[in-house]
Amino acid sequence: MFLLNGERRHCVDVSDRGFQYGDGLFETIAVYQGKPLFLQQHLDRLRAGCQRLFIPYPEQDQLKAEVKQLCEGSDTAVLKIIVTRGSGGRGYRQPDSIVPTRLLSLHPFPEYPANFQTDGVVLRFCQQRLASNPVLAGIKHMNRLEQILARAEWQGDAIQEGLMLDYDGHVVEGTMSNLFFVKDGVLYVPLLTYCGIVGIVRQKVVSLAQYNQIGIVEKQFDKTRVLEADEVFVTNSVIGIWPVKQLDQQCFKVGRITRRMQQWYAEARTEELKL
């Protein structure tokens, strides 16, 4: 199911700068009972990304109407929203008048084994690093070769996610998730000022920690800090919160703070879907 600039089409002109240069942004949103979860937060991040890249943010009411049109009648699904700079300009130079392309698409919700939530997942450290570029950090833009190359480092079902470092050796995030770890009752989260994507669930976890008076520290950490943690978990909008039971050769228990955070997150999700 696709809506390309409001029409039921799934074929884009090859001159679209999203195709030529990855010149755009995207959002990946979980849909439950036809309702997109934390839609406004996703749209706010999309708007912030548009501002950063000088792409005119699409008319929000129209976007929301198209979201509704696409999601209504669906049950559990994944909604993807893409906004590109559209066609035009010469080479890298943007067109004088930008007409963004917007694409909404609905996809099946991935069937993850239930024990990923309960027992945890297996991670590895990737060789591929994340380059630091503050201008592009935090936003969910479409230049994703680094993540593609990192994900290409492993196949099969034994490993669920890979963690990526920056070129100074700081652990930043997973190829498709954000990272948290717990040590001595304090929650730690990597700083994303120089690279990485500021996830919607990451931000929700930070708020839940603050609201529930769990100490939270955001800074740059090297591998050792993560490997010496008491608990580790990863987050994104589709998986929610996955505990990490193993990272390379290091094993972790699924700890108390991780369990409480999963509980608070599930409650926040239920509340949000009632609205």
Residues that bind a second copy (CB under 8 A): 2, 4, 10-23, 26, 53-54, 82, 85, 90-94, 103, 105, 110, 128-129, 131-133, 135-136, 141-152, 167, 175-176
Cβ neighbors of 226 (< 8 A, separation 6 or more) are: 163, 171, 179, 181, 232, 247
Contact 181, 122 (CB under 8 A): no
- Least separation in angstroms between residue 176's CB and a second copy is 6
The closest of 212, 249, 250 to 231, measured between CA atoms, is 250
CB-nearer residue toward a second copy: 10 or 256:
10
Positive or negative torsion for Cα 209, 31, 59, 235: positive
CB-nearer residue toward a second copy: 235 or 258:
235
Burial class (CB in 10 A: 0-12, 13-18, 19+), 56: middle
- Phi, psi (rounded to 5 degrees) for 30: -80, 140
- Least separation in angstroms between residue 241's CB and a second copy is 18
CB-nearer residue toward a second copy: 14 or 158:
14
As a whole number of angstroms, the longest Cα–Cα distance in the chain is: 55
Region of 140 please: left (phi>0), alpha (psi -120 to 50) or beta.
beta
List the catalytic residue out of 66, 161, 173, 231: 173
Dist. CA 135–CA 108, nearest whole Å: 33
CB-nearer residue toward a second copy: 103 or 244:
103
Q: What's at 235, amino acid-wise? A: T
Whether residue 28 lies in the annotated active site: yes
Cβ neighbors of 170 (< 8 A, separation 6 or more) are: 190, 220, 221, 222
List the catalytic residue out of 27, 66, 84, 140: 140
Dist. CA 40–CA 36, nearest whole Å: 9
Whether residue 219 lies in the annotated active site: no
CB-nearer residue toward a second copy: 90 or 274:
90
Whether residue 231 lies in the annotated active site: no
Residues belonging to the active site:
28, 140, 173
